């Protein structure tokens, strides 16, 4: 299976149900899309992440009822620096989709999706702990991996692999 | 160590609950899990897991290694099923590269994966039963596990940290008598299973400790992100091997056991049935093992055979290049998930086009499954917490990474 070039044109991809529903919604803006290596990624503005995830979960024809994973990539030193990835799985339709949100380095905060998927609890705490991204509305946003008096966020790219000491 | 919710401060006369610390060094937490239990008499009011004691920053370390050097790191995440981790990682990188894997390598991977699943479930069965007081099962399980570890050692040179899979295939052919040894194991294993079940499945003490204990509803399992047997014990019929097949699993016939009770016993039944199904898959893999190469035809990614490396100039150059510079991976990102013994093991890898991964994230099943523990233990007895931990089968290396 040699690699095929990624498709980034919204027009070519709008037949895919997940993207079609998000485009049809009046409140959600789709910033960009990419279909690469058989995986669909959709970028949405951070104000719309709750609405987008709720649409994907609650639409009877989509049923992305399982949140597989929430994680982050640090693109330091370029801006927007942080890129959050939400991996959703539709158990009934056997399909995955990736929602992405870009965050500026000096304004790394986003709404928590805890009200829709309580399973994001540990994942968001992990991103907060290791990247320093804040999630508004998370009931218990404290460090999960590192000690509570730890300085810095180890998975940031400007954090040395060996640590500061 | 790792942060905990602020420990609840209880003033005298305010209420009648107390806070009890369990772990991190506690034999039934299967590693270094610390639980803060708020109890009313012997009834659990609240549980707060405190994790992070085993955090070693594997994700950060991976960013400083070549793609092929990450494989041994993956063994150490979930040390009870190293080959599943190897496979999940290799599949993700192969997806990034667009690499086609020969059929024999795929089948060998499936074979090793199912042996690993049996290995992992045997540890769960032995330790889980011992937590409830059944010592004999533990000894029996470890007797069979020893056989498996010998098989792993024969094939990879290591009992536990196998690192047997490579990006683009498998490290080396199994030794000559290996398939016969696996066959012998698979032939005798069902009778061993009857032995374990004879000790537990009808045992009134075991039933009293497991039936109706630590209930997890279907809705909670879905909402809290449980996967694998923990989810299937609550009636959600989903198995990545069957529903989103990878590595040639679509060529195998097997059942996915699902129970609807959602208690400890249901999860026990699911895993017991899975052990038998895994043994069945092993038999199918042995019977239909195709001939051919075990490495993909990609000289820039896969190390050449030793023989070739010593006789051909070109192969020597490729060998030198891969070892010293690694291989580059086209930019992009993938999320590739497989069904590990504990649930959905996903690797999210971002490549920036260099020989080192820009970001490796492991979506480990134990980490997500641990989230269901507080909800399933609420209102249960203190002693049942031990049964509940055993039934979600967490590995702390997998939780903390």
Task: Give residue B349's pLDDT band: very low, low, confident or very high (50, 70, 90).
Answer: very high
Whether residue A163 has pLDDT greater than 90: no
Q: Is the pLDDT of residue B2 over 70?
A: no
Question: Closest residue of B to A160, CA-based?
Answer: B60
In this prediction, residue B11 carries a pLDDT of 53
Mean pLDDT of chain B: 88
Tell me, what's the pLDDT at B14? 60
Closest Cα to residue B244, out of B321, B336, B331? B336
| Contact criterion met (CB < 8 Å) for A68 and B1 | no
Measured between beta carbons, the chain B residues lying within 8 angstroms of A145 are: 2, 51-52, 55, 400-401
Residue B88 confidence (pLDDT): 92
**CB pairs A-B closer than 8 Å:** 114
B365-374 average pLDDT score: 90
pLDDT value for B172: 87
Q: What percent of chain B has pLDDT over 90?
A: 34
- pLDDT score at B4: 45
Write out pLDDT tens, residues B226-283. 999 999 999 899 999 998 898 889 899 999 999 988 899 999 999 999 999 999 999 9
Higher pLDDT, B41 or A85: A85
**Mean pLDDT, residues B42-48:** 87
Task: Tell me the percentage of chain A whose pLDDT exceeds 70.
Answer: 99
Express each pLDDT in A106-161 by its tens digit: 888 899 998 899 888 899 999 999 998 999 988 888 888 888 888 888 898 888 88
* The most confident of A155-164, B7-16, B152-161, by mean pLDDT: B152-161
With CB atoms and an 8 Å threshold, state whether A3 touches B98. Answer: yes
pLDDT of residue B7: 47
User: Helix crossing, B103-131 with B382-392: angle to 10°?
Assistant: 170
Sequence-separated (6 or more) residues with CB below 8 Å from residue B227: B238, B342, B343, B344, B365, B368, B369
Cβ atoms of residues B240 and B339 within 8 Å: yes
Q: What is the pLDDT of residue A165?
A: 62
Mean pLDDT of chain A: 87
| Closest approach of B97 to chain A, Cα-based (Å) | 7
Query: How far is the alpha carbon of B206 from chain A, nearest alpha carbon, in Å?
Result: 31
Nearest to A66 among B99, B222, B361 (CB): B222
Q: Are the Cβ atoms of A122 and B368 closer than 8 angstroms? A: yes
Mean pLDDT over A87-113 rounds to 90
Q: Say which of B334, B358, B361 has its CB closest to residue A37.
A: B334
Look up the pTM and report it.
0.90
Chain B residues inside the 8 Å CB shell of A159: 60
For residues A20 and A114, the model is more confident at A114
Structure confidence at residue B87 (pLDDT) = 92
Q: Quickly state the pLDDT bin for B346 (edges 50, 70, 90).
A: very high
Q: What is the 3-state secondary structure (H, E, C) of chain B?
A: CECCCCCCCCCCCCCCCEEEEECCCCHHHCCCCEEEEEEECCEEEEEEEECCCCCCCHHHHHCCCCHHHHHHHHHCCCCCCHHHHHHHHHHHHHHHHCCCCCHHHHHHHHHHHHHHHHHHHHHHHHHHHHHCCCHHHHHHHHHHHHHHHHHHHHHHCCCCCCCCEECCEECCCCCCCHHHHHHHHHHHHHHHHHHHHHHHCCCHHHHHHHCCCCCCCHHHHHHCCCCCHHHHCCCCCCCHHHHCCCCCHHHCCCCCCCCCCCCHHHHHHHHHHHHHHHHHHHHHHHHHCCCCCCECCCCCCCCCCHHHHHHCHHHHHHHHHHHHHCCCCCCEEEEEEEEECCEEEEEEEEECCCCCCCEEEEECHHHHHHHHHHHHHCCCEHHHHHHHHHHHCCCHHHHHC
- Closest residue in A to B352 (Cα) is A75
Which band of pLDDT confidence, cut at 50, 70 and 90, is reported for residue B112?
A: very high
Mutation site, B4, B8, B34, B52, interface A, largest A CB count within 10 A: B52
Residue B316's pLDDT is what?
A: 92
What's the pLDDT score for residue A82? Answer: 92
- Name the pairing type of β-strands B332-340 and B343-351: antiparallel
Q: Which residues of B touch A126 (CB under 8 A)?
A: 367
Q: Is the pLDDT of residue A87 over 90?
A: yes
Q: Is the pLDDT of residue B5 over 60?
A: no
B126-146 pLDDT, tens per residue? 888 888 888 888 899 999 999
Q: Any idea which of A17-21, A116-120, B150-154, B209-213 has the lowest mean pLDDT?
A: A17-21
Token readout for B214 is: 């630590």
């Amino acid at each position: 299976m040699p690699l095929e070039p990624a498709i980034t044109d919204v027009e070519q991809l709008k037949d895919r149900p997940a993207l079609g529903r998000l485009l049809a919604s009046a409140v959600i803006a789709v910033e960009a899309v990419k279909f690469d290596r058989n995986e669909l990624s959709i970028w949405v503005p951070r104000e719309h992440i709750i609405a987008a995830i709720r649409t994907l979960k609650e639409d009877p024809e989509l049923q992305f009822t399982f949140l597989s994973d929430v994680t982050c990539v640090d693109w330091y030193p370029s801006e927007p620096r942080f890129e959050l990835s939400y991996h959703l799985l539709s158990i009934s339709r056997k399909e995955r989709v990736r929602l992405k949100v870009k965050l500026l380095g000096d304004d790394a905060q986003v709404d928590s999706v805890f009200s829709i998927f309580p399973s994001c609890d540990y994942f968001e705490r992990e991103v907060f702990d290791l990247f320093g991204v804040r999630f508004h509305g998370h009931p218990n946003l404290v460090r999960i991996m590192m000690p509570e008096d730890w300085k810095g966020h180890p998975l940031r790219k400007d954090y040395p692999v060996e640590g500061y000491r | 160590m790792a942060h905990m919710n602020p420990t609840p401060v209880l003033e005298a006369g305010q209420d009648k609950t107390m806070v009890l610390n369990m772990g991190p060094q506690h034999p039934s937490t299967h590693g270094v899990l610390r639980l803060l239990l708020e109890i009313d008499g012997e009834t659990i009011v609240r549980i707060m897991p405190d994790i992070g004691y085993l955090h070693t920053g594997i994700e950060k370390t991976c960013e400083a290694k070549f793609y092929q050097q990450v494989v041994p790191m993956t063994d150490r995440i979930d040390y009870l099923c190293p080959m599943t981790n190897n496979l999940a990682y290799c599949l993700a990188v192969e997806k990034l590269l667009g690499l086609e894997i020969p059929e024999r390598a795929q089948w060998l991977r499936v074979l090793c994966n199912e042996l690993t699943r049996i290995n992992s479930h045997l540890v769960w069965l032995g330790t889980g039963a011992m937590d409830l007081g059944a010592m004999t099962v533990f000894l029996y399980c470890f007797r069979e596990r020893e056989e498996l570890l010998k098989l792993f050692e024969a094939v990879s040179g290591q009992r536990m940290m196998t690192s047997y899979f490579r990006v683009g295939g498998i490290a080396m052919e199994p030794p000559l008598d290996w398939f016969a040894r696996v066959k012998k194991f698979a032939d005798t294993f069902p009778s061993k299973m009857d032995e374990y079940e004879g000790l537990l499945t009808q045992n009134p003490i075991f039933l009293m400790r497991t039936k109706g204990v630590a209930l997890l509803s279907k809705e909670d399992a879905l909402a809290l992100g449980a996967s694998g047997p923990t989810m299937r014990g609550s009636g959600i019929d989903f198995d990545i091997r069957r529903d989103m097949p990878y590595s040639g699993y679509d060529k195998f016939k097997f059942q996915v056991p699902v129970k609807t009770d959602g208690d400890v016993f249901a999860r026990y039944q699911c895993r017991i049935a899975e052990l038998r199904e895994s043994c069945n898959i092993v038999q199918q893999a042995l019977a239909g093992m195709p001939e051919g190469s075990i490495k993909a035809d990609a000289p820039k990614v896969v190390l050449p055979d030793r023989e070739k490396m010593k006789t051909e100039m070109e192969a020597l150059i490729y060998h030198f290049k891969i070892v010293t510079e690694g291989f580059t991976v086209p930019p992009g990102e993938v999320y590739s998930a497989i069904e590990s013994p504990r649930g959905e093991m996903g690797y999210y890898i971002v490549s920036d086009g260099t020989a080192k991964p820009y970001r490796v994230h492991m979506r480990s099943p134990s980490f997500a499954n641990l989230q269901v523990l507080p909800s399933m233990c609420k209102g249960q007895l203190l002693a049942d917490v031990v049964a509940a931990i055993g039934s979600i089968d967490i590995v702390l290396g997998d939780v903390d990474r």
